[in-house]
Amino acid sequence: MLSLLRPLLVACCLYLLMLLPGGQGRIPAYNNGFHYQDISNGNGNGEIYFNGVRLHVESPEPAVSATRGSSVTLPCHYHYEPELATPRRTRVKWSWLPANTITAPVSPAASARETEVMVAMGNRHRSYGSFRGRVRLRRSAPGDMSLVINELQLNDTGRYRCEVIDGLEDESVTVELELRGVVFPYHSQEGRYRFNFFGAHQACQDQDATLATFEQLFTAWEEGLDWCNAGWLADGTVQYPITDPREGCGGVDLAPGLRSYGQRHHLLQYDAFCFSGAVKGTVYFLKHPAKLNFTEAVQACASDGSEIAKVGQLYAAWRLMGLDRCDAGWLADGSVRYPITKARANCGPPEPGVRSFGFPPWYQKFGVYCYR
């Protein structure tokens, strides 16, 4: 019975001490290095006024771009005003909002969809999901909580949030991560407008690419991409880029830009716009004494210690590595294409690009592009 009454006796004693003159000063106050105004002197709603040191979280670069397979640093630094004499124990959390879900500036709804990338406190840290083992904090100086991502992947693009937490203080900053690469239109071997949203996503993946985001397609349009067939984007919209207005592509009276069908039902069928970043290996045209059908082309690359190249790899090699070859060759999807960086006679149109012969019958004879 005495053990049950002990907490009540202690509480009563503390209450009596508080009633004595100066009793409030006899109870040790919690001190975390900040000053909080007493609740009783607040606004009557139990609000605590914070009158102490302020935490600031900043990034000198609101957007960072990198290439696939490389390492990238997303800058994030924090400091106090005024500065503290002794360092405090803070917690940092990095989270990520994928590019295909970004439709507006930072909002509570967007924050709720964020995925945890890494949390750290002191020397302890933990990474999550596909980022596990690929991320770390730079910590090059006091207050440096910059995130280093290794082996950058196509799907790593998006908005990253650096959140620093210190007691009741919680401040954050966001950094956009973009990949340098190339957008290319892609359609099924069966013909135009044969992909639903899920099929378009898979088709791009099969070609070592990913569905392009709106921002990536917009950049491609700014760089001159003109394509009069509507295709899926990563956010579930269907659009196409026009630099030269004409009949059948929105009309001659409509200004150049991205033509948009808006959000479409995922089972409706269109083409796809894929995005490919840098390739880790090398794409090359195989020197072979004779032309090859598709089956022979696959075997020829294998015999050369390689594999037949994918469409996304050819586009990336053309745009990012300057691959220029005026010889049509088989690719892994059964299409025949060739890359031109310096336009010239007998090599197609007067501008650079990847020329396509479509999907010829498998028995026709061409060269082949391999990937090693």
Q: What is the CATH number of domain 181-276?
A: 3.10.100.10
In this structure, whether the domain defined by 54-100+112-179 belongs to CATH 2.60.40.10 is answered with: yes
pLDDT at residue 16 in the model = 38
Per-domain boundaries in the chain = 54-100+112-179, 181-276, 281-371
pLDDT at residue 101 in the model = 62
Cα–Cα dist 186/188, whole Å = 7
Answer whether 181-276 and 281-371 agree in fold. Answer: yes
Cα–Cα dist 257/240, whole Å = 8
% residues pLDDT > 70 (the chain)? 83
b or e along 34-64 (b: 16 or more beta carbons within 10 Å of the residue's beta carbon)?
A: beeeeeeeeeeeeeeeeeebebebebeeeeb
pLDDT at residue 83 in the model = 84
Task: Report whether 370 contacts 307 (CB < 8 A).
Answer: yes
Task: Report whether 297 contacts 368 (CB < 8 A).
Answer: yes
Write down the pTM of the prediction.
Answer: 0.72
Q: How crowded is residue 128: how many other Cβ atoms within 10 Å of its Cβ?
A: 15
Nearest to 239 by CA among 254, 228, 224: 228
Phi, psi of 256 (to 5 degrees): -60, 150
Sign of the torsion angle spanned by Cα atoms 128, 118, 125, 73: positive
Cα–Cα dist 23/262, whole Å = 68
What's the pLDDT tens digit per position in 100-158?
A: 664 444 455 555 689 999 999 988 999 999 999 999 999 999 999 999 999 999 889 99
How far lies 116's CA from each of 102, 133, 179, 270, in Å?
A: 16, 14, 20, 33
Nearest to 223 by CA among 183, 271, 179: 183
pLDDT at residue 34 in the model = 38
pLDDT at residue 327 in the model = 97
Residues 6+ apart with CB under 8 A from 297: 308, 329, 330, 366, 367, 368
Q: Any idea which residue has 């409706």 for tokens?
A: 268
pLDDT at residue 123 in the model = 86
In this structure, whether the domain defined by 281-371 belongs to CATH 3.30.420.240 is answered with: no
pLDDT at residue 105 in the model = 47
Average pLDDT, the chain: 86
| Residue ranges of the chain with per-residue pLDDT less than 50 | 1-50, 102-106
User: What dihedral angle (degrees, nearest 10) is formed by the CA atoms of 240, 232, 320, 318?
Assistant: -80
